[in-house]
């Protein structure tokens, strides 16, 4: 089980590195918000633009533009350090294919029937 988790984590890291190089800031931001939403287990979670800028490796102003675009599209609401995911399917459509690739790896390892 530990080996499977490490394998999935390494795949996630590799996808993240490739994603940072190949995809737009808005797609990367949507991917990161989806992954955080998965782990938070609720639609509203605390997240500052400063922290998100560190996680995405960009300036805070760049995160402000990206979250503003996602908010304008109606996918999220951002108010004083709190993100609310309003339209998850919409947010998934704004994300790059890396999010689905990462989910498929975890699902194949941890949701498949045990032999």
pLDDT at 103 over 90: no
Name the nearest CA neighbour of 96 among 68, 66, 51.
66
Alpha-carbon gap, residue 46 to 105, rounded angstroms: 27
- pLDDT tens figures, 11-61: 888 887 888 788 899 999 999 999 999 999 999 999 999 999 998 889 999
Domain 2-110 fold = Arc Repressor Mutant, subunit A (1.10.10)
Confirm if 98 and 13 have CB atoms less than 8 A apart: no
Phi, psi angles (nearest 5°) of residue 89: -60, -35
> What pLDDT, on a 0 to 100 scale, did the predictor assign at position 112?
55
Alpha-carbon gap, residue 81 to 51, rounded angstroms: 10
Alpha-carbon gap, residue 7 to 39, rounded angstroms: 19
- pLDDT tens figures, 48-80: 999 999 988 899 999 999 999 999 999 999 998
> What pLDDT, on a 0 to 100 scale, did the predictor assign at position 115?
45
Secondary structure letter of residue 79 according to DSSP = E
Give the residue, 16 or 6, on which the prediction is more confident.
6
> What pLDDT, on a 0 to 100 scale, did the predictor assign at position 18?
82
Give the residue, 112 or 8, on which the prediction is more confident.
8
Alpha-carbon gap, residue 37 to 7, rounded angstroms: 22
> What pLDDT, on a 0 to 100 scale, did the predictor assign at position 104?
86
């Amino acid at each position: 089980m530990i080996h499977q988790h490490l394998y999935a984590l390494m795949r996630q890291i590799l996808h993240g590195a490739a994603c940072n190089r190949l995809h737009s800031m808005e797609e990367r931001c949507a991917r990161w918000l989806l992954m955080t939403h998965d782990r938070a287990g609720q639609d509203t979670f605390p997240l500052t633009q400063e922290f998100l800028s560190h996680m995405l490796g960009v300036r805070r102003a760049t995160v402000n533009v990206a979250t503003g675009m996602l908010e304008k599209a109606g996918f999220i609401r951002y108010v004083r350090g709190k993100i609310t995911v309003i339209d998850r399917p919409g947010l998934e459509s704004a994300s790059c294919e890396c999010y689905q690739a990462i989910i498929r790896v975890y699902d194949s390892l941890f949701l498949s029937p045990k032999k």
